Amino acid sequence: MSEALIEGRTGKWEMVLGLEVHAQIVSKAKLFSGAATDFGAEPNTQVSFVDAAFPGMLPVINRYCVEQAVKTGLGLMAAINLRSVFDRKNYFYADLPAGYQISQYTRPIVGKGTIQLDLPGGETRSVGITRLHMEQDAGKSLHDQSPNETYVDLNRAGVALMEIVSEPDMRSAEEAAAYLRKLRSILRYLGTCDGNMEEGSMRCDVNVSVRKPGAPLGTRCEIKNVNSVRFVMQAIEYEARRQIEILEDGGKIDQETRLFDNAKGETRSMRSKEHAHDYRYFPDPDLLPLELDPAMVEKIKASLPELPDEKKARFIKDYGLNAYDAGVLVGEQASANFYESVAKGRDAKIASNWVTGDYFGYLNKSGLDIATAPVDAAKLGGLIDLIADGTLSGRLAKEVFEHMWASGKPAAAIVEEKGLKQVTDTGAIEQAIDAVMKEQADKVAEYRSGKDKLFGYFVGQVMKRTQGKANPAALNELLKKKLAG
C-alpha cells in the first residue's frame, strides 16, 4: 500500500480511515410506527402521532425492519446478536420530536463482520465491520422558508436506519470509495437499502486521522454527513492534508466533529470535543430487549441471494473472466443478470467485452439503465451471434450497435436494411485488392522492397473500396498472398 502514502515536508504520512454509514432500510413503514416512508412526499404527510411524539404515544418495533437488519448483517458476514437493546439518545432539536432518538448503543443487533474491497487491477482487501445497529432517523429542519422561523418536516422522523460502522482499516480515499461502492452493492443485492446517496438513503460520516507509517494511531476528526462517493474522497484528501500541515507545523489535532462544504471542497469545524453532546444514553423503557429466534435467523440466511463476492468468483471460474471484468459486472445485480443472459450459449469473453465496453458506454452516455435501455440482452446476443457466424466484422458490429441503440431494432433487421452484411465472397474481395494494387503500383513496389508497415494501409484502402464490408480475415489472407506476388 506504499503508493497510498502522502508526501509531506517531514516525510511520508499514512491516513487511517473509518466510515460510519447510515443506510435507510427498505421498508414501507417506519421503524416504530406504521407511517409511510415514501421519498419526496408533501411535508408532514407521512407522520403518525408516534413520530410526532405526542403525549402517551409508544413505539412498537417493525419486525420487517428487524429482518432487514439481520439480512444485512448476514450479508456482511457478521455475527447476529440474538439479544439486543434499544436505547434512548437524548438531545434537544426541533426535528427530533421526542427529544431523544431511539438507537442501539451498547448492545447492537449485529456484531463484527467483513467486507471485501475490489481494488483496481483486480486486487482485493478486506475491511472489518465493527457493528451494525438500528435507529430512527430525525425529521428535517427547513431554514429557508421564512426569514425568522424554522419549519420542520417530520416525514423522515422515525424512518428506520442501519448505522454500519467500519474498523479504521482503510488507508486511502480510493479504498474508502471502494468500501462505499461495495457496501452499496451488497445492500442493493440484499434489497435492504436502495443505496441512493442523492436522496439521502445512504449517508456517510468519515473518521480521518494521519500518522507516520508504523506509528500509533493519531487523533481523529469526524466529518459528518458527506453525501456522495466523490465528496467522500474530496473530504478525505482535504482533511488528511489539513491534519498533516498542522502536525508538520508542530501543532496538534483536536478531536472534533467537522463538516464538509461541497461548494468549497473543504472541511470546517462543527463542534469540539468539549462541546460534544452528552447524550445520556439509557435503555428505552418503552421497548423490551429485542430477542431473535435462531430459527428466524437461519431462515433469512437460507433466503440470501448470491452476493457480489460469490458471484464474482463464479464468473471468474465459469466464464473465464478476469477479476477486474468480473468485479465490474457483479457491481449491480441487474448488470450481472444482463451479462449472464447475453453470455448464455455464446462466447463468454466476447459477451463480457461487449457488455462492459460498448453497452456500458452507451448506458453511461445516455443516462439510461438496463431496464430502460433500447437494447436488451436478447438483442445484444443477436448482434454477437452475427459476429460469431461471420455475418458482421467487429467494425461493422459497432456500426450496427449504434443503429440498434438509436432505433431499438434487432441487429439482423439493421443488417438487412442497411446492407451492412460483411463480404466473405473471395472473388469480390480479390477484385477490390486488384483494383487497389493497380492504382497504387508505386506503394506496392515500396512494400515489396521491404516496407512491411504499408500492409495496414492496403487493408484500409481495400476496406474503403468495399464500404467496410470485407471480412477482415479473408481480406488479410488474400492481400498477403497477392502482395507477395
Partner 1 sequence: MTSPMASRLTDLTIAEARDGLRKKSFSATEIAKAHVQAVEKARGLNAFITETPERALADAKASDQRIARGEGGPLEGVPLAIKDLFCTKGVLTTAGSHILDGFKPPYESTVTANLWRDGAAMLGKVNMDEFAMGSSNKTSYYGPVTNPWSRRGDNRKLVPGGSSGGSAASVAARIALGATGTDTGGSIRQPAAFTGIVGIKPTYGRCSRWGIVAFASSLDQAGPMTRTVRDSAIMLRSMAGHDPKDSTSVDLPVPDYEAALTGRIKGLRVGIPKEYRVDGMAGEIDKLWQQGVAWLKQEGAEPVEISLPHTKYALPAYYIIAPAEASSNLARYDGARFGLRVPGDSLIDMYENTRAAGFGKEVRRRVMIGTYVLSAGYYDAYYLRAQRVRALILRDFTQAFEKVDVILTPTAPSAAFGIDEKSDDPIAMYLNDVFTVTVNLAGLPGISVPAGLSADGLPLGLQLIGKAFDEETLFRAAQAIEQAAAFKARPAMVG
Least Å from the CB of residue 155 to partner 1: 15
Give the HSE-up count for residue 80: Cα atoms under 13 Å, Cβ half-sphere: 24
Least Å from the CB of residue 145 to partner 1: 15
Least Å from the CB of residue 141 to partner 1: 9
Helix ranges (DSSP H) in 36-149: 63-75
- Spatial separation of the C-alpha atoms in residues 296 and 193, rounded to whole Å: 20
Helix ranges (DSSP H) in 355-471: 360-366, 377-388, 394-407, 411-418, 426-439, 441-448, 454-465
Give the HSE-up count for residue 335: Cα atoms under 13 Å, Cβ half-sphere: 24
Letter string b/e over residues 253-280, b meaning 16 or more CB atoms within 10 A of that residue's CB: beebbbebeeeeebbeeeeeeeeeeeee
Nearer to partner 1, 39 or 105 (CB): 105
**Residue 461 identity (one-letter amino acid):** Q
Least Å from the CB of residue 219 to partner 1: 20
Could you tell me how many residues of this chain bind partner 1 (CB under 8 A)?
A: 30
Contact 109, 76 (CB under 8 A): no
Site string for partner 1, 324-343 (x = CB under 8 A): --------------------
Map the footprint of partner 1 across residues 137-196, applying CB under 8 A.
150, 152
User: Helix, strand, coil: what percent of the chain each, to 5?
Assistant: 40, 20, 40
Least Å from the CB of residue 33 to partner 1: 10
Map the footprint of partner 1 across residues 32-61, applying CB under 8 A.
49, 52-61
Least Å from the CB of residue 46 to partner 1: 16
**Residue 382 identity (one-letter amino acid):** G
Map the footprint of partner 1 across residues 282-301, applying CB under 8 A.
282, 285-288
* Closest C-alpha among 226, 301, 298 to residue 72: 301
Least Å from the CB of residue 51 to partner 1: 11
Least Å from the CB of residue 84 to partner 1: 14
Nearer to partner 1, 27 or 101 (CB): 101
Nearer to partner 1, 93 or 126 (CB): 93
Site string for partner 1, 74-93 (x = CB under 8 A): --------------x-x-xx
Least Å from the CB of residue 333 to partner 1: 36
Nearer to partner 1, 277 or 480 (CB): 277
Contact 438, 389 (CB under 8 A): no
Nearer to partner 1, 62 or 391 (CB): 62
Residue 452's φ and ψ, nearest 5 degrees, are -60, -30
Nearer to partner 1, 54 or 299 (CB): 54
* Angle (nearest 5°) at CA 306 between 305 and 312: 155
* Closest C-alpha among 479, 31, 72, 87 to residue 280: 87
97 binds partner 1 (CB under 8 A): yes
Q: Which three cell numbers stand for residue 182?
A: 461495495
Least Å from the CB of residue 56 to partner 1: 4
In DSSP notation, 159-178 reads -EEEEEEE-S-B-SHHHHHH
Binding partner 1 by CB under 8 A: which of 98, 387, 432, 478?
Answer: 98
* Closest C-alpha among 274, 177, 260, 175 to residue 222: 260
Binding partner 1 by CB under 8 A: which of 11, 12, 28, 94?
Answer: 94
Distances 241 to 233, 266, 467 between C-alpha atoms, Å: 12, 11, 56
Interface residues toward partner 1, by CB under 8 A:
49, 52-61, 88, 90, 92-94, 97-100, 150, 152, 278, 280-282, 285-288
